[in-house]
Amino acid sequence: MSDIPTRVPPDSPLAPQWYKLEAEANSSVGELMLILWFGTQADEVFIDAWHSDVASVSGDSITNTRSKVYLSPRLWYLRVNIIEAQDLVVPGDKNRIPEVYVKAALGNVKLRTRVSADKSLNPRWNEDLMFVAAEPFYDHLVLTVVDKNNEEEISLGRCMVHLSEAYIRWLPEPVSAKWYNVEGGGDVVEELKFASKLNMRISLDGGYHVFDESVDCSSDYRATFKGLWPPAIGVLELGIIGASVLVPMKSRDGRETTDAYCVAKYGPKWARTRTVVNSFSPKWNEQYTWEVYDPYTVLFIGIFDNCHLNGEKGPNPKDPSIGKLRIRLSTLWTNRVYTYSYPLIALQPSGVKKMGEIQLALRFTSPSYTSLLAAYARPLFPKMHYIHPLSVYQLDSLRQQAIGILCSRLSSAEPPLRTEVTGCMLDAGYQLWSPRKAKANTERLIDAVHVITEAWKWFDTIKKWNNPAANVLVIVLYLIVVFYPSLVLPTLLIYCFLIGIWQYRKRPRDPTHVDIKLSLADSTNAEEWDEEFDTFPSSKQGDVLRMRYDRLRSMAGKVMVMVGDLATQGERLTALWSWQDPVASAIFLAFCVMAAVVFCSGLVPSRCILVMVGLFVMRPPSFGIDIPCAPQNVFGRLPTKTDCML
Residues 442 and 471 reside in one and the same domain: yes
Q: State whether the Cα torsion 276-281-284-287 is positive or negative.
A: positive
Assess whether pLDDT exceeds 50 at residue 123: yes
Enumerate long-range contacts of 316-320, CB under 8 Å, 24 or more apart: 318/418, 318/420, 319/418, 319/420, 319/421, 320/249, 320/420
Q: Which residues share a beta bridge with 364?
A: 236
Question: Is 59 inside a domain boundary?
Answer: no
CA-to-CA distance for 413 and 275, rounded, in angstroms?
Answer: 17
CA-to-CA distance for 572 and 636, rounded, in angstroms?
Answer: 8
pLDDT tens per residue across span 556-569: 888 888 888 889 98
Question: How many of the other CB atoms lie within 10 Å of CB of 532?
Answer: 17
Residues 462 and 417 reside in one and the same domain: no
Residue 555: phi, psi to the nearest 5?
-65, -45
Q: Please, are residues 426 and 298 in contact by the beta-carbon 8 Å criterion?
A: no
Domain boundary (426, 460, 482) is at 426
Q: How far is CA 448 from CA 245, 328, 499, 532, in A?
A: 36, 20, 17, 25
pLDDT band for position 296 (50/70/90)? very high
Domain boundary (205, 224, 259) is at 205
Predicted confidence at residue 125, as pLDDT, reads 92
Residue 364: phi, psi to the nearest 5?
-110, 115
Query: At a CB cut-off of 8 Å and minimum separation 6, what does 607 contact?
Result: 482, 483
Residue 58: phi, psi to the nearest 5?
-140, 170
Of 69-78, 170-179, 343-352, 479-488, the least confident? 479-488
- The answer, yes or no, to whether the previous bond of 282 is cis (omega within 30 of 0) is no
Q: Which residues share a beta bridge with 75?
A: 134
Q: Which residues share a beta bridge with 291?
A: 235
Residues 315 and 441 reside in one and the same domain: no
Domain boundary (163, 180, 205) is at 205
Question: Is 49 inside a domain boundary?
Answer: no
Tally of structural domains, the chain: 4
Assess whether pLDDT exceeds 60 at residue 187: no
Residues 404 and 470 reside in one and the same domain: no
Task: With H, G, I as helix, E, B as strand and everything else as coil, classify residue 131.
Answer: strand
Predicted confidence at residue 192, as pLDDT, reads 44
Residues 453 and 418 reside in one and the same domain: no
CA-to-CA distance for 363 and 250, rounded, in angstroms?
Answer: 34
Residue 277: give its domain's CATH number.
2.60.40.150
Residues 379 and 408 reside in one and the same domain: yes
Q: Which residues of 584-617 are buried (b: 16+ CB within 10 A; e: fewer)?
A: bbeebeeeeeeeeeeeeeeeeeeeeebbeebeee
**Which residues constitute the domain of residue 39?**
1-44
Question: Is 58 inside a domain boundary?
Answer: no
pLDDT band for position 260 (50/70/90)? very high
CA-to-CA distance for 49 and 67, rounded, in angstroms?
Answer: 9
Question: Amino acid identity, residue 494?
Answer: I
pLDDT band for position 189 (50/70/90)? very low
Question: Is 445 inside a domain boundary?
Answer: yes
pTM, to two decimals: 0.82
Predicted confidence at residue 303, as pLDDT, reads 95
Q: Please, are residues 47 and 379 in contact by the beta-carbon 8 Å criterion?
A: no
User: DSSP labels for 33-72?
Assistant: EE---B--TTSTTGGGPPPGGGTT--GGGGGGGS-EEEEP
Residues 405 and 455 reside in one and the same domain: no
DSSP state of 6: B
Residue 582: phi, psi to the nearest 5?
-60, -40
Q: Which residues share a beta bridge with 347?
A: 352
Task: With H, G, I as helix, E, B as strand and everything else as coil, classify residue 384.
Answer: helix
Residues 366 and 484 reside in one and the same domain: no
Residues 288 and 201 reside in one and the same domain: no
pLDDT tens per residue across span 84-94: 998 888 877 77
CA-to-CA distance for 17 and 22, rounded, in angstroms?
Answer: 16
CA-to-CA distance for 290 and 270, rounded, in angstroms?
Answer: 10
Q: Which ranges constitute the DSSP H helices of 351-391?
A: 369-377, 384-387
Residues 169 and 221 reside in one and the same domain: no
CA-to-CA distance for 2 and 467, rounded, in angstroms?
Answer: 81
The closest of 153, 134, 133, 135 to 144, measured between CA atoms, is: 153
CA-to-CA distance for 372 and 407, rounded, in angstroms?
Answer: 33
How many CA within 13 A on the CB side of residue 244? 8
Assess whether pLDDT exceeds 90 at residue 230: yes
CA-to-CA distance for 581 and 571, rounded, in angstroms?
Answer: 12
pLDDT band for position 624 (50/70/90)? low
Question: Is 61 inside a domain boundary?
Answer: no
Question: Is 57 inside a domain boundary?
Answer: no
Residues 519 and 379 reside in one and the same domain: no
pLDDT tens per residue across span 358-407: 999 999 999 988 999 999 999 999 999 999 999 999 999 999 999 999 99
The closest of 277, 285, 283 to 259, measured between CA atoms, is: 277
Q: What is the mean pLDDT of the chain?
A: 86
pLDDT band for position 454 (50/70/90)? confident
pLDDT band for position 315 (50/70/90)? low
Predicted confidence at residue 440, as pLDDT, reads 87
Residues 241 and 199 reside in one and the same domain: no
Question: Is 302 inside a domain boundary?
Answer: yes
Question: Is 222 inside a domain boundary?
Answer: yes
DSSP state of 116: P
Share of the chain above pLDDT 90, in %: 37
Assess whether pLDDT exceeds 60 at residue 69: yes
Task: With H, G, I as helix, E, B as strand and everything else as coil, classify residue 407.
Answer: helix
Q: Please, are residues 75 and 224 in contact by the beta-carbon 8 Å criterion?
A: yes
Enumerate long-range contacts of 227-232, CB under 8 Å, 24 or more apart: 227/170, 228/170, 228/382, 229/293, 230/293, 230/294, 230/375, 230/378, 231/293, 231/371, 232/291, 232/292, 232/293
CA-to-CA distance for 361 and 287, rounded, in angstroms?
Answer: 9
Q: Please, are residues 145 and 108 in contact by the beta-carbon 8 Å criterion?
A: no
Predicted confidence at residue 283, as pLDDT, reads 93
Instruction: In the chain, count H helices and then E strands.
Output: 14, 22
- Total count of residues recorded for the chain: 646
